[in-house]
Each structure stands twice: as structure tokens, then as C-alpha cells.
Structure 1
Amino acid sequence: MQNILNKTLRNIFLLTAVLGLTGCANAYGQSQCDHFFVDGKPPVVTNSDQKLCLKGYALAYSDQTRGNSYAAEYLIKDQVEKGKLIRRYGTFDSRDPIIRDYRNSGYDRGHMTPSGDMGDYESQVQTFQYQNLVPQTRRLNSGKWNWIENQVRQIAIQYGSVYVVTGPYFQGTTKTIGQHHIWVPYATWKAIYIPKLQKAGVYFCINEAEPVCYVQTVSFFTQRTKIDPFPGLDQAIKDTKLALPKMKHKKNK
């Protein structure tokens, strides 16, 4: 029975990869995508060439950086709770040249939309597309970033729903990895809007061996990066800081 399940899920993954690469996913502006964005307005970023609408999230991809530009979700309590009940499943297609470029690069394949946010197998598998990835340091990806992803899921459970937009930020001279010169971001960020509170905020994490994460207002983040994760939000909400959870640092004994 398990072998049959694995084969079925593998077929779903291959079909998803084909749809993503051929651009058969829904285009932005159609009703299937609008619910991922506040007021139906997609984020504003500097690099965005491909735009895909998948079952559980929407994404933009840059041909220049060879990585994700942003990933947008409308995360609800029911989806998160379903995700906790199903077995985590997903794998990268090792035949894909972009995926192979991450090997022995010193960087993890950092999901912008995490598979743990998804409430069904098909949506989980769709998070393993190369268009959803950027290079992240191992310390960030498995540490503070993983903690932030878990906090966002808890926020969705607590308040019923949350809009989430995640992406990379590039600054100055950019390091690259692999034969396709995938850009390594200076930082990765995760913007959050809680409709029930009408409040928003941004986690901004420096992508270094010893990562540091900050909590910012949307206005400060946009002023610094020229990225607007929520163009549909009122300016007053963007100006007000949301008291997002902060990771407690363990003290050395």
C-alpha cells in the first residue's frame, strides 16, 4: 500500500513540475489567484519574470536571479491543522539542472513557501519546485527561519487566517552558486497580515552563517528594500508595528 502511495505522489510531483515549467498554471489576475493577495493585489518586487498560481500558493520567479522572487499564501486554521495530520512528503527532482546547482554549494534549498503550510499532499509536493527556492545558509534555514515558519502557522491557528508573503532581498555585490549562477540573497523576509487584528509586520533575516532576524513595519521594510508585500493594505496599517513573536536566545550556562 505504501509503495502505491509513493508512486502516486511521485506522479503528482512530475505533473506539477511539467505544469510549472510550461507555464500552464493559472495566470495572475484570474479569480483562482486573487485570494492569495490582500485586496487581490499581488506584491510589488524588482525582479519578476514568471508568475504561477498553484493549488496552495502563488509565486513569482526571476530569470535573472534564477530563484524565487516571492511566494504568497492565504493561510487558514483548517489548512494548518490538516497539514499537521498528514505525513510530510515531498522531494526535489534531481534531474533538474537548477536543483542540481544547490549540491555541494554550501547553501540549503530554502523554501519560500514551506511544505509544512500545506494541508494536502498535492500542495506539499508543489512547494518543491525550483521556482519556490533561494539559497539559504544551513544555520538560518534549519534554525531561525524554521522557527518563524512555525510561528506563522500558530498565528493562523490563533486568529483563523493570515496573509503571508515571503521572498529574498539582494544588496550590493551578489554571490552566486552553481553553473546557472543562482543568486544568493543578502536576506530573506516573511511579511504577515492578520485580518482579524488589521495589523501587519515583517520578519527580516540576514542570510549569514550566524543569521540575525529583525521585526519591522511594512513601511520601514518597503522603504529599505523597495518591495511592497501588501500593496492592497492601508498606509496606516503599514506604518503600525505588529508585535510578532521573537525567538528567545539560550543563555550559556
Structure 2
Amino acid sequence: MLRSLVFSLAVLGSASVLASTACPQYFAAGQPPVITNPKLKPRTQELCFRAYAVLHSGVTRTPLYSAEYLTRKNVKNAGKLSRQDSFHAEEALPERDRAELSDYERSGYDRGHMAPNADFATRKAQAESFSLANMVPQVHENNAGVWAGIESAARQLATTEGDIYVISGPAFIGGNLKKIGNVLVPTHVWKVIYSPAQQRAGAYLITNDATRDYAVVTVSKLEKMIGLSLLPGLPQQVRDAGMALPKPESRQDRRKKTRPEDEFTLRDFTSLVMDALNRALKH
């Protein structure tokens, strides 16, 4: 009897640390991340959208994370849609807590998606991805380079495996943080992937600068860095073990690979003309 009571109290105690959510479909085992750093807790608000969920911070005026359940079908359907930008302030947030378009104007930073537009299979879902509640100030070379490659790698993995859970967000590490308007600029951005097929999880981590470098780390290592327990519904060994993740390629690298071998460009034509002239001059 006593042993049963102790077990029941332990279960109740562990359940109390789990966060509740109105949109469990976007989280592995239906459990959203839990804030472990008390400094991140004030003025947070969950937002549930058609295809992703956000935990927004009124202190940073950015998401602390954006979460998605990414499937092969959605990736395929999303690929049929052209991009239509519709950046907007999030009216579901109090004015004192939300980013405004004016915060980003002439800042030198991109409005960087955490849950990317290209993941979403309908126009309405894509339009919702342009909420500033889903954005962080991001260095352009980063956003258009290695981060775009990481986003593409996640879609590649979802296509290969059928479905994955993805959580993306910023990190604010150190005491010398910048602001644009009222929005805090992250020092790093990260993306966590959990594969139900493999029952493994891993994370990409990059600095928010012009780097082309990235790191693949375990979820537990990332959790210690950013003050969030990211996959609380999964066993600790899954968070500790790590996962082999696809190598991200920048848009420039992908364009080079997709050029047909027989494509004839102006540069090719010029080279042929010069070769012909050189041969003529030798005779």
C-alpha cells in the first residue's frame, strides 16, 4: 500500500512539471517543451496555428520555439505552391509584447522564419507562417545560407521517413545582446528533429552570423544551453543518444548541383569563341 502511494505521488510530481498545450498534435508524445530557465518564463504565450505552434516571449518579442509535425504529404503539397510574402504583426499578442514591422525596417536583419513557409501545404497555413510571432532577427547570409540548407534537410528527412517532429528556435547566450527596435537579436538558432521511425533525435545549432558552419548536437546538450527541456515526453536516452542528420546545403550549392550537364550558357559560348580565335591565330 505504501509503495503504491509513493509511486502515485511520484507520477503526480513528474506530471506537474510537464507543460500543458492546446495543440498537442505538433509535439512528440503530445508534450510541448518545458522552460527550465526561470528568466525565460515571464510574459510567455502559446499560439496554435493551422500547421505549427509557437511559445512566444514578450520579453524577447520572438518565439522561444516554433513546433511542427512535418509529413511527406505536406512537403510534397507545399512544393507545389509559390512563395507569397505576407509579413505581419501578431494581433493575438498584447501590443507591449509583440514585434512590429517597424522593428525590422532598415535594421540590417532578415525576418527569419523559425517554422518555414516552405513546410506548409496550404495558402492559409503559409500565410500564418509570416506572423512576426514566428520570426527572429537573422543575419541575411545565415538565413539564406546554412539555415535554408537546414530547413531543406528537415524536409528531405520527412520525405524519406514519412513523418518527423521539428522544433526550431533562437538562443540568447551571454550578456552582450543586441536589439533592433524592441526585438532581441539571438546569438544562435537551432532546429531539433525527432524521427518516430528511428526513435532517435538530434539537433542542428548555428551562430547567428555569416558563418557557413553548423554543429550537430544531442538534444540534451542543446537543452542545457538554451534553458528549455525540448522533448519532455520522450525517454532521456533518446535525448542523450543523438542522431545522424542530413548534411545541409546552401541555396547556392543546390543551384550548382541542379544545373543540367548539357546546359549551354553565355560563358560556355564565350569560351568556345576564344578557343576558336586562338586556334585561328596559331595557323
Pairwise TM-score range, normalised by the shorter structure: 0.7 to 0.9
Cα RMSD, aligned residues only: 2.0
**Alignment-derived partner of residue 195 in structure 2:** 194
- Counterparts of residues 12-51 of structure 1 (less than 5 Å): 29-30=21-22, 33-45=23-35, 46=37, 47=40, 49-51=44-46
In 1: Cα distance, 2:85 partner to 2:199 partner = 34
Against the structure 1 CA distance between its residues 51 and 95, is the aligned structure 2 distance closer, same or farther, given a 3 Å change threshold? Answer: closer
1:34 corresponds to which letter in structure 2?
P
Q: Identity rate of aligned residues, in percent?
A: 38
Distance between the aligned counterparts of 1:125 and 1:247, measured in 2?
Answer: 25
Pick from 46, 52, 66 the counterpart of residue 61 of structure 2.
66
Deviation of 1:170 (Å) = 0.4
How far the C-alpha of 1:164 sits from its partner, in A, is 0.2
Instruction: Point out where structure 1 has 5 or more consecutive residues left out of the alignment.
Output: 1-27
| Alignment-derived partner of residue 100 in structure 2 | 98
2:109 is matched by which residue type in structure 1?
A: Y
Say whether residues 1:78 and 2:73 are aligned partners: yes
Distance 1:40 1:241, change over 3 A: same
Q: Greater CA deviation, 228-237 or 95-104?
A: 95-104
Per-residue CA deviations over 1:169-195 (Å, capped at 9, x if unaligned) read 0011211112x2x10001000000000
- How many Å apart are 1:245 and its aligned residue? 1.8
**8 A contact 1:53–1:59 mirrored in 2:** yes
Q: How does 1:149-168 map to 2 (within 5 A)?
A: 149-168=151-170
Q: CA deviation at 1:68?
A: 1.2
Contact 2:145 2:212 in 1 (8 A): no
Q: For 1:87 and 1:212, how far apart are their aligned partners in 2?
A: 29
- Give CA-to-partner distance per residue, 1:47-78, whole Å, 9 cap, x none: 35111111000001111001111100000111
Change (3 A) 1:58 1:248: closer
- Pair 1:211–1:174, CA change in 2 (3 A): farther
Are 1:56 and 2:59 an aligned pair? Answer: no
Are the structure 2 counterparts of residues 188 and 209 from structure 1 closer, same or farther at C-alpha, using a change threshold of 3 Å? same
Query: Which structure is larger by alpha-carbon Rg, 1 or 2?
Result: 2
TM-score, structure 1 normalization: 0.81
Q: How many residues align?
A: 219
Partners of 1:94 and 1:100 within 8 A in 2: no
TM-score (structure 2 length as normaliser): 0.73
